[in-house]
A and B are shown apart, each in its own frame.
Chain A
Amino acid sequence: MKLIVAIIQPHKLGEVKEALEAVDVNLMTVSNVLGQGRQKGHTEIYRGTREAGGLLRKVRLDIAVNEDFMERTIEAIVRGAHTGEIGDGKIFVLDLKECVRIGTGEHGSRAIG
Chain B
Amino acid sequence: MNAGDTAWVLISTVLVFVMTPGLAFFYGGLVRRKNVLSILMQCFIIMCVISLQWVLYGYSLAFGPDTGWGLIGGLSWVGLSGVGGSPNGDYASTIPHLAFMMFQAMFAIITPALIIGAFAERVRFSAFLVMTVLWATLVYDPLAHWVWGSGGWMRNLGALDFAGGIVVHVSSGISALVMAILLGKRIGYEKEPFRPHNLPFTVLGGALLWFGWFGFNAGSALGANELAANAFVTTNTATAAAGLTWALIEWRLSGAPTVLGAVTGAVAGLVAVTPACGFVTPVNAIFIGVSVSVICYAAIAVVKGRLGYDDSLDAFGVHGVGGAWGTIATGLFAEKAVNAAGADGLFFGGLHQFLVQLMLVGVTVLYAGVVTFILFKVVDALLGMKVDRKSEILGLDLSQQCESAYTVVD
Instruction: State the A residues within 8 Å of B (CB).
Output: 44-54
Contacts and interface: CB of A to CB of B under 8 A. Distances in A.
Contacts of A45: 250, 254-256, 258
Given A47-B260, A48-B250, A48-B254, A54 B301 contact: no
B305 A47 contact: no
Q: How large is the interface on B (under 10, 10 to 19, 20 to 34, 35 or more residues)?
A: 10 to 19
B338 interface: no
A48 B195 contact: no
A58 to B, nearest CB: 18
Tell me the dominant secondary structure on chain A's binding face.
strand
Given A45-B258, A48-B254, A48-B297, 9 more contacts: A44-B195, A45-B254, A46-B194, A46-B196, A47-B260, A47-B264, A48-B301, A48-B302, A53-B193
B301 A47 contact: yes
Given A51-B193, A51-B195, A53-B193, A46 B305 contact: no
A44 B255 CA distance: 11
Contacts, number: 36
B300 A48 contact: yes
A54 B193 CA distance: 8
A49 B195 contact: no
Nearest to A51: B193
B289 to A, nearest CB: 18
A17 to B, nearest CB: 24
A50 B300 CA distance: 13
A44, A45, A51, A54 — most chain B CB neighbours (10 Å): A45
A46 B250 contact: no
Contacts of A54: 193, 195
B5 interface: no
B326 interface: no
